[in-house]
Amino acid sequence: MNDGVRWGRPGELCTCGRQAIEVFETDHGPVGWCRISDGGNSVGPCPFCGSPRKHFTPWGDLGRCPSYRLRLVGGDV
């Protein structure tokens, strides 16, 4: 329950595809957050898996891509 939080570094992304302002260290790996809770840019291709449409939860919120990664390029942590 005590996830670490740090500042996002350049190139680290929120689940919505924006630059991450903060990064949460979770049990499932680091997850970025852009601090904008409008669901992000809901149109256009998914930046993580290339799907032509982004992912939505059954209740209509923008969902996290199953291929979400903190960084699109590079494997350094």
Are residues 65 and 51 in contact, defined by beta-carbon separation less than 8 angstroms?
Answer: yes
Min dist. Cβ of residue 76 to Zn ion (A): 22
Given candidates 23, 31, 34, 70, which one binds Zn ion under the rule CB under 5 A? 34
Binding mask 36-65 for Zn ion (x = CB under 5 A): ----x-----x-xx-x-------------x
Q: What angle do CA 55, 42, 13 make, to 5 degrees?
A: 80
Least separation, in Å, of the C-beta of 48 and Zn ion?
Answer: 5
Residue 12: strand pairing partners = 71
